[in-house]
Amino acid sequence: MAEAGADKKVLAGILGIVFNCLGIHKFVLGYTKEGLIMLLVTILTGGIGSLVMGPIGLIEGIIYLTKSDSEFASTYVNGKKGWF
């Protein structure tokens, strides 16, 4: 049986890889503050902030997808680890 919250792993991982600098993957996981930071940095800098936020989102997406369901749930759902 899958861990509670592990169902968000694939969606958050793919969104992190595809829409990395927008922080949409953060909203899926319930990290509103972190998602807004990524989104606003990207928008308010005219896209220049995506040079920083893009790789962060990409790396996070890859990390999400490479973790087991139980690791993902304990770290990002139960542990509420907002960054990396």
pLDDT tens string, the chain, 84 residues long: the values are: 567 778 899 999 999 999 999 999 999 999 999 999 999 999 999 999 999 999 999 999 999 999 999 999 999 988 888 887
* CA distances in angstroms from 84 to 38, 61, 67, listed in the order given: 13, 9, 12
Domain ranges in the chain are 7-77
Q: Report the 10 Å Cβ neighbour count for 32.
A: 11
**What per-residue confidence (pLDDT) applies to 16?**
96
pTM of the model: 0.89
CA distance linking residue 60 with residue 50, whole number of Å: 14
pLDDT of 21: 95
d(CA 12, CA 60): 9
Provide the pLDDT for residue 81.
Answer: 87
